[in-house]
Amino acid sequence: MAPTLAEPFNDSSALTDFVINKGNGVKGLSEMGLTALPKQYIQPLEERMCMTNINIPQESIPIIDMSNWEDPEVAKSICDAASEWGFFQIVNHAVPVEVLENVKDATYRFFSLPAEEKNKYSKKHSSSNNVRFGTSFSPQAEKALEWKDYLSLFYVSEEEASALWPPVCREQVLDYMKKSEVVIKQLLDVLMKGLNVNEIDETKKSLLMGSVRTNLNYYPKCPNPEFTVGVGRHSDVSTLTILLQDEIGGLFVRGNQGDDWIHVPPIKGSLVINVGDALQIMSNGRYRSVEHRVVANGSKNRISVPIFVNPRPGDVIGPLPELTASGEKSIYKQVLYSDYVKHFFQKAHDGKKTVAFAEI
């Protein structure tokens, strides 16, 4: 049998050197024209996407028109979606389409940079933990790697972003974050009222959205996409995640039946919203943070740009006092948010297991 191009990477140290140390990422592997997936990316059978369990036309996550977000019916739709699905798409929101298109273009520009340029932002070379180029999720903890490269940008201040973020995408990401803030506040306002928390004071605002991180995700086309994943099963550790996806598709959400997966179809100009673990914990389980995953694609490159809206690292999260004051029993303890996040990043993606860290 003729050797395949995957063979140079039968040796894990050669793969680590090419993908991680030299900054080529999986994009570099994809562009080599591999005919077979390197074994380090082959997921165990139980983690691969069984296409027979995919719920494509029958069911879809809710699509909510935000053009009149103060309408009680819209507010009810948002709270119901957060309770029942944990995921929904919004259309006619306040973020201009050109802002979304600009940040998608900027994502492609960043990943088109030479490997040595991108590598300046890797864990080994970046001048700040707040700017990180990487690949997979947590390579040191994973038995099988994920087919994804990313740039993670943690927002501290305009000054730091100007000094440290890559110039090819800095302005577009900042614009996307700023313009999305209106929508984030609207959504949190509605979701808090749904819990009878009628005022978001400065302390609550900090707890709900005190820190913000944006990722630029790149999923290059993949040989043998059926053997790997773009992102494994997980729920987010955020309060809310606001996701911009391109027209390719590939995001799947765990359905309410438990063993089915629902595709989230790309809708031009829409944003996908999902509840994160922090909001599930603060809402005492009323709002659901739901497992989701991304499949690899055999024919096209895909990008997505999530904004993760989080508590600050030093905040303590637990069920909101307004919920427990009326006698509701807490199902979560008070946990330091940075401890929760650390626990999440110390292991491979493992579905919803992280939330057990906060259970009583």
Cα gap 262→248, rounded to integer Å: 15
Q: Does residue 33 have a pLDDT over 80?
A: no
pLDDT value for 182: 93
Residues above pLDDT 70, as percent of the chain: 86
Mean pLDDT of 332-336: 88
Q: Which of 263, 308, 288, 261 is nearest to 85 (CA)?
A: 288
User: Using an 8 Å Cβ cutoff, are 225 and 295 in contact?
Assistant: yes
Q: Does residue 140 have a pLDDT over 70?
A: no
Q: Please count the other Cβ atoms lying within 10 Å of the Cβ belonging to residue 123.
A: 10
pLDDT in tens, 141-164: 556 688 889 999 999 999 999 999
User: Using an 8 Å Cβ cutoff, are 256 and 84 in contact?
Assistant: yes
Instruction: Tell me the backbone φ, ψ of residue 288, rounded to 5 degrees.
Output: -105, 130
Cα gap 40→119, rounded to integer Å: 21
Q: Which two tokens stand for residue 203?
A: 């302390």
pLDDT in tens, 63-92: 999 998 889 999 999 999 999 999 999 999
Cα gap 144→44, rounded to integer Å: 8
Better pLDDT: 275 or 16: 275
Q: Does residue 305 have a pLDDT over 90?
A: yes
Q: How confident is the model at residue 351 (pLDDT cuts 50, 70, 90)?
A: low
Helix H or strand E segment including 242: strand 240-245
pLDDT value for 257: 66
Q: Which of 37, 43, 42, 25 is nearest to 350 (CA)?
A: 43
| Most confident range, picked from 47-56, 264-273, 317-326 | 264-273
Q: pLDDT averaged over the chain? A: 84
Q: Does residue 340 have a pLDDT over 90?
A: no
Q: Dihedral (C-alpha) 78, 82, 86, 87: value to the nearest 10 degrees?
A: 10
Q: Going from the N-terminus, what domains does the chain have, and what CATH number goes with each?
A: 61-358 (2.60.120.330)
Q: Please count the other Cβ atoms lying within 10 Å of the Cβ belonging to residue 266.
A: 18
Q: Which of 240, 30, 262, 230 is nearest to 148 (CA)?
A: 230
Strand 302-310: give its sheet, edge to edge: 63-65, 87-91, 271-275, 240-245, 302-310, 211-219, 149-155, 131-135
Mean pLDDT of 217-241: 86
The CA angle 256-261-265, to the nearest 5 degrees, is: 110
